[in-house]
Chain A
Amino acid sequence: MSTVPVEPVVEAPRNYLNASYGVKSWLLTTDHKRIALLYLVTITILFFLGGAFAVMIRLELATPQGDLMTPDTYNKMFTLHGIIMVFFFLVPSIPATLGNFLVPMMIGARDMAFPRINLLSWYVLTIGAVISISAAVMGGVDTGWTFYTPYSTTYSNTYVTLMAVGIFIAGFSSILTGLNFIVTIHTMRAPGLTWFRMPLFIWSHYATAIIIMLGTPVIAITLLLVGAERTLKLGIFDPALGGDPILFQHLFWFYSHPAVYIMVLPAMGVVSELITCFSRKRIFGYSFVALSSVAIAILSFLVWGHHLFVSGQSVYAGMIFSLLSFMVAVPSAIKVFNWTATLYRGSISYDTPMLYAFGFIGLFTIGGLTGLFVATMAIDLHVHDTYFIIAHFHYIMVGGTVMAYMGGLHYWWPKMTGRMYPEGWAKFSALVLFVGFNLTFFPQFILGYLGMPRRYYAYPEEFQVLNVMSSAGATILGVGYLIPLVYLFWSMRYGERASSNPWGATSLEWQTPSPPPTENFTVTPVVTEEAYTYSHEAPEHV
């Protein structure tokens, strides 16, 4: 008889990842953290799908002639790129993943106010995405992500209605998430966590949720009307049926301009967390940063007409919209200045999330300032619908939102997975992304002012040099996104184990183990301090 040596069984501490196993335990979960991971997987797939369409666009535009694909295919490529990226990646990106994971944790709650609705919102998004992707697979859509009428209602022979149905459904996912955020933030804050002690991430998600609740129903109605006109020949937008095509633009931009802030406000929230943590400083001007999010949420609904400066809109209406568009820039500027001032006399480290935060501020500043160009009516007259616009909004959405998303993902990765990512690779890829991004999109400002219209499949030869630069940059950008995909996957298994608070941050999610237990906190935390209290010395006034 021999004795089998018994290996000591080390019981891993229970956390939300190992609490239960199996596909069912994920697909039926009501844990906000697991739902966040479901979203993460979904939108990562959608991001790379949307990116693949961008690759096709940049390949075609490497030469002035249309040579790689037919014009119809090209038109579908940019349409699908826009639809997937806007409605299925950027809108859910930060709120549905980081927001879902962190909103309850940061306010010391066990879960969202409506955990089942939270799970439902993921199913709704997935169903919407499946319908939209099937529209793409069946033959695609060629209207542009803007669905301008009467092209979309009468002239396009593609799967417009099916695509509209997909986006319509996905909109409800946003609404449910927004509803959950508002109720959770109002009712489930830990004892002592007053409104002005909340981390700025929470403020920005609150402001985002307001925009989502007020704006999303409008795009839903608009798409419904497009579908009704296409299928039932109801005369709403097509002048041949007695409709008004400009009415569509008003309705569309009434949602889609605030939607820009649905994408960028959560990013601003992330950056406020990163800047404070990696400089170990209280945010400079807390209430200004917090309330500027609310100001943006309100003003964002009053600027849609700046998309119609060349449509024949009344010049006086244009004047008001132009002025309001400048006003919405003020709260954004306030944020940038306060982030910069937060660095003053800080203790600044250069960890990857901080590099992304620096990248965000730089690129968002350029995106914001070029927004002033297009708010200036006489300049818009020239650059409207040119590559200047493409460059401007990519600086905001990719330079801004995606940079912050990447920064946030790295920052909270240890909390989400219990593992550290490889710092060297992460820094390298952040640099690659920054260089690739600027090389891709900066030349497009120049192209736009030179007069190259957007959505052109072939273009005059004099625009080639700048287009080649842009395509080359896009290649680098693509590599910059693939590297993190690989090392983040790798780190889930092989990464160094993370402590509960590897960055020494102050907010509540770091006061519980990494990864957190299912109920987030074993003891409900009590908040006695303002956010970002890194030092207990009496604060100085500047």
Chain B
Amino acid sequence: MRELFRFFPDSASSISDAVDALYLWLTTVSTIMTLLIFLAIGYFAIRYRRREPGEVPAPVLGSLRLEILWSVIPFLVMLSFFTWGTYLYFHSQTSPKGGMEVFITGKQWMWKIQHPSGPREINELHVPIGVPVNLTLASEDVIHSFYVPAFRIKKDVVPGRLNRVWFQATKPGKYHLFCAEYCGTEHSGMIGWVYAMERHEYEQWLSGGGGEGSMATRGEKLFQQYGCASCHTMETAGRCPSVRGLYGRQVLLRGGEQVTADDSYLRESILNPRAKIVAGFEPIMPTFQGQINEESLLQIIAYIKSLGVEGGEEVEATKK
């Protein structure tokens, strides 16, 4: 216990000061409002206290002017909360270009973390300061929630889908990582630390781990192992659509719908291949539901992503 009383947690991300400022604005307005009401009640209660038992005060009707005033003014003040809060929230949900990627899997009751270049950690996340970090969040079982109070960010980790969130650490240090969504027996033990490090320290840390190769390399092995390679890598389309250059591209589905081949699409197509069938192909792929865990799925997606170098041009082509 460093200090007996604190009102703010560490502020260590690119948005944490802004969230605190908004919080202070809300606190200020709320305090003023509370005081106004308390003082009004206190003043009236004393000023107009009953002096004789039989006293009957003159009735006062309402006042339309006052009603409008105390509906409109608070609402306008609330609109300031809404506008500021929404602006900041949208900013917090839109990851900037050029960030690094980290893949997080929540599991009763631990956080498993993979860095694309190889290192894996449990309940610890090392990140450099000054770089946007994009997190892809997957759950093996129930809903968890990735929460770093010092960064003022939180995102539920929902089974069956990939959620994303980003942050940019601004101050080196060691910060709490909590699971915020109740997930069973050891929910309060599903905690860890985020280490925000100077760039060079981070590079040093990164070079220390990752003996098993990058996520994409591990994904490639799994791609072979599960037999995906036998069909999905042919250059000319055979029975299956090729995954080469697939990532990020628009895919035309049976029925004319178009979807972007992003992480969620790839994940769904592995686990539930019949959900979205590519135009011109038959639904012959077996499901891998229950056979590949979330960590491995993220590796396979990383591998497919690594094949998608020429994908960028094709996106442009379809747009034209």
| A-to-B contact residues, CB < 8 Å | 66, 71-72, 75, 142, 144, 148, 150-151, 154-156, 238-240, 242-246, 279-282, 284-288, 309-312, 315, 318-319, 322-323, 326-327, 329-330, 333-334, 336-338, 340-341, 343-350, 358, 361-362, 365-366, 369-370, 372-373, 375-379, 381-382, 384-386, 446, 449-451, 453-462, 464-465, 533-535, 537, 539-542
Contact = CB atoms under 8 A, between A and B. Distances in A.
B180 interface: yes
A311 B144 CA distance: 10
A71 B79 contact: no
B4 A312 contact: no
A381 B15 CA distance: 11
Contacts of A327: 75
A453 B188 CA distance: 8
A352 B142 CA distance: 48
Contact of B89 (A66, A381, A450): A381
Interface in B216-247: none
Interface in B1-58: 1-2, 4-9, 15, 18-19, 22-23, 26, 29-30, 33-34, 37-38, 40-41, 44-45, 48-51, 55-58
A102 B37 CA distance: 30
Contacts of B101: none
A341 B36 CA distance: 12
B48 A344 contact: yes
B256 interface: no
A288 B59 contact: no
Contact of A461 (B1, B48, B51, B141): B1
A396 B313 CA distance: 56
B158 to A, nearest CB: 6
**9 A-B pairs closest in CB distance:** A239-B160, A451-B149, A376-B85, A285-B62, A378-B88, A377-B89, A343-B44, A456-B188, A369-B30
Given A144-B182, A312-B156, A336-B37, 10 more contacts: A155-B142, A280-B57, A281-B60, A284-B63, A319-B86, A326-B81, A358-B45, A377-B88, A533-B59, A535-B58
B207 interface: no
Contacts of B26: 372-373, 376, 379
A361 B154 contact: no
Contacts of A318: 89
A535 B56 CA distance: 6
B67 A288 contact: yes
B86 A322 contact: yes
B50 A66 contact: no
Contacts of A537: 58-59
A287 B62 CA distance: 9
26 contacts: A150-B143, A155-B141, A239-B160, A281-B59, A288-B67, A312-B158, A333-B74, A334-B67, A338-B62, A340-B37, A340-B41, A341-B60, A343-B44, A343-B48, A346-B48, A347-B56, A348-B50, A372-B30, A373-B26, A379-B19, A379-B85, A381-B154, A451-B9, A455-B188, A465-B5, A535-B56
B59 A535 contact: yes
A326 B82 contact: yes
Given A449-B9, A451-B149, A245 B19 contact: no
A322 B87 CA distance: 12
A133 B108 CA distance: 28
A456 B5 CA distance: 21
Interface of B: 1-2, 4-9, 15, 18-19, 22-23, 26, 29-30, 33-34, 37-38, 40-41, 44-45, 48-51, 55-63, 66-67, 70-71, 74-75, 78-79, 81-82, 84-90, 92-93, 108, 141-143, 145, 147, 149-150, 152-156, 158-161, 163, 176, 178-189, 272, 289-290
Nearest to A451: B149
Given A379-B19, A455-B182, A361 B37 contact: yes
B70 A347 contact: no
A144 B55 CA distance: 52
Nearest to B147: A453
A200 B5 CA distance: 44
B123 to A, nearest CB: 14
B7 A449 contact: yes
Given A151-B142, A336-B37, A379-B22, A344 B60 contact: yes
B145 to A, nearest CB: 6
Given A240-B159, A282-B59, A541-B61, A378 B22 contact: yes
B180 A334 contact: no
A378 B181 CA distance: 18
B65 to A, nearest CB: 9
Given A337-B70, A455-B182, A381 B163 contact: no
Contacts of A310: 145, 154-156
A501 B84 CA distance: 52
A238 B278 CA distance: 26
